[in-house]
Structure 1
């Protein structure tokens, strides 16, 4: 298990990277917002910086996002480096928050009204602009807090197979830590075409 500890310590949870406490409702909404930013085809560094920029201006609730309006959201996104998708993301955020408020009242109520993980995922993906990738990013880090059963992502499963890691040995928060680490490892070392050899060699085995 030493290699698992090495992997997880080297690649911590995305929510930990940006200092989000998932045990409180405000933290879960911050993670929801961050997941939307992470879900685009943009670098994780820019998504993290933009998430912190929303925190800098305390635009961290559906109400504050709606009150900020399109122009201010574009400004925040641009300051965070989210220039490539600034206009479309500002529009997407306003639409999602408006629908969230009108249909459920809050993110916590959306969760409370979901009978199981699949229903929760369906509700999330009914928001225009939230697809498979964003819902997976958001839900996997909430396994323990919301006690939900989220399938492991394809990237993590592929990396686990290449590293001979049996994901059946993990559950809850531990599974989340391992999955996040595998995804990060995949994105840094394991994408097809980046390296020809097994990316696990030399990193996890001390070679």
Structure 2
């Protein structure tokens, strides 16, 4: 790693390297509950709504007891709408409440509430995992990418997963725009997930990209 890349990496990870799962209060591990919570978060982040609102809505759902497939299924449609509303997730609240309920049913009925079973069905192949994830209501290619770039911290089978938004952010701060060279800059899969989150934030804001570049040259 060159001095310039290292300086940029240090700034990215220090200032913007918190995963979206971490922001939502998810203690991510290879266990059914946090993996399901990540799926819920990916569903919320998939809508055309700010990441801050999606994270806040996820926190409200989990605080209300809907952080497991069982809890989500047993909540009424209105209960879920109300929790989303408390997180200011109002534009898509009714549709999203329905999707979350159906998604919890699918996960319970097909994979017994455990996304590790989905991963095993896909034999750990990231493309197949993405395909299966897109069977959940509200999860399309964007949602599958969100899930995979966060879960790579605890699912080494899918690492590295650096989608186009991540690579776009890398280009804006002068890091490699190819997956393998960029992945080599991270020292662990956890750091790779944090780097991905930071670069997503950079990709959305020219001001943030300029700030990172300026700080890295000091």
Of 82-91 and 99-108, more deviation after overlay is shown by 99-108
**RMSD over aligned Cα, in angstroms?**
2.1
More displaced stretch, 40-49 vs 111-120: 111-120
Cα distance between partner residues in 2 of 1:158 and 1:170? 16
- Distance in 1, Cα, partners of 2:161 & 2:34: 23
CA distance in 2, matches of 1:202, 1:67: 50
Distance 1:180 1:93 in 2: 24
- TM-score between both structures, scaled by the size of structure 2: 0.84
1:173 CA displacement:
2.5
CA distance in 2, matches of 1:54, 1:41: 19
- Provide Cα deviations, 1:163-182, integer angstroms capped at 9, x if missing partner: 22131423533322212111
* Residues 117 and 182 of structure 1, relative CA distance in 2, 3 Å threshold: same
Count of residue correspondences: 201
Match of 2:185 among 170, 175, 188: 170
Once residues 24 and 106 of structure 2 are traced to their aligned partners in structure 1, the CA distance between those partners, rounded to angstroms, is 26
What TM-score results when the alignment is normalised by the length of structure 1? 0.88
Do 2:8 and 2:173's aligned partners in 1 also have CA atoms closer than 8 Å? Answer: no
Q: Give the alignment partner of residue 167 of structure 2, picking from 157, 165, 175.
A: 157
What are the Cα deviations for residues 65-119 of structure 1, in whole angstroms up to 9, with x where unaligned?
1110211111111111010001110111111111222222122322222212221
Gaps of 5+ in 2: 1-5, 177-181
Q: 2:68 aligns with which of 44, 51, 61?
A: 61
The equivalent residue for 2:15 is 10
Q: State the match for 1:204 in structure 2.
A: 216
Q: Give how far 1:156 is off.
A: 1.6
Are 1:117 and 1:150, in contact at CA under 8 Å, matched by a contact in 2?
no
Distance in 1 separating the partners of 2:172 and 2:153:
26
Out of 118, 131, 137, the residue aligned to residue 128 of structure 1 is 137
Match of 2:152 among 140, 143, 156: 143
